[in-house]
Amino acid sequence: MKLNPLSDEYRPRIGLTTYWQEASWGVWQSQAAIVPGKYVQAVVAVGGTPLLLPPVGTDTTVLDLLDGLIVIGGVDVDPANYQREAHPTTAAQPERDAHDMALTATALERALPLFAICRGAQILNVERGGTLNQHLPDLIPDAAARYQPAPGVFGSVDFTTVRGSLAETLLGKQATAPCYHHQSLENVAEGLQVTARAADGTAEVIEMPQAPGWVLGTQFHPEENLEDLRLFAGFVEAARSYARTTQHRERQGQL
């Protein structure tokens, strides 16, 4: 049975971008579309239905089928996208950049709720004309020890939100989250606003206050703490509202 978006039982359809790289399963090893499981668990836990969008055969019209988009974390954004030479530590996947930026731009055009996480927040900033710091330890000497304590080990970041922001509404004045910072936002694109910072000044949350839709990006990794899904809950609620509004408009157009 197909549920109507106006029904309380409707689960918003949430698209998630993916990695595209070598992976192993069973006796096999090959190229695969990968999403760390906690992203999927977080979406399901707050009432959404996850749908994966690998960076192969990009088709932005797929957003017609979705109620929200999550651009997940991953490798560095290619600095060629913001007219910089690559830092020795930068590792990029240009084909994934093109995919993620195309989906991000289309989501913004359609006022589709957008949740951009870590690399996703950087994609959002670069797509809108901003730039990145390619190696945070060059700016903050102890950044690696605090934000990337060991390969594959998440650090923790405390941050303060801006009064009246979406971040403050969802998280309060101060919060803590898992992180794995290597790069960070440098010049913030026009239309975006930093609404939470760490004590060292690192931008931790960006929003788009003048956008018609729900837009929020985090430098940290909220999916890594499944005990605190306030951001995911706020996003999926926005996706539910988007679905209901879209359904209402479609019905009005049929009258």
Catalytic residue numbers, as ranges: 118, 221, 223
User: CB atoms < 10 A from the CB of 168, how many?
Assistant: 18
Instruction: Tell me the one-letter amino acid at 182.
Output: H
Instruction: Tell me the one-letter amino acid at 141.
Output: P
Beta strands at 174-179 and 68-71: parallel, antiparallel or unpaired? unpaired
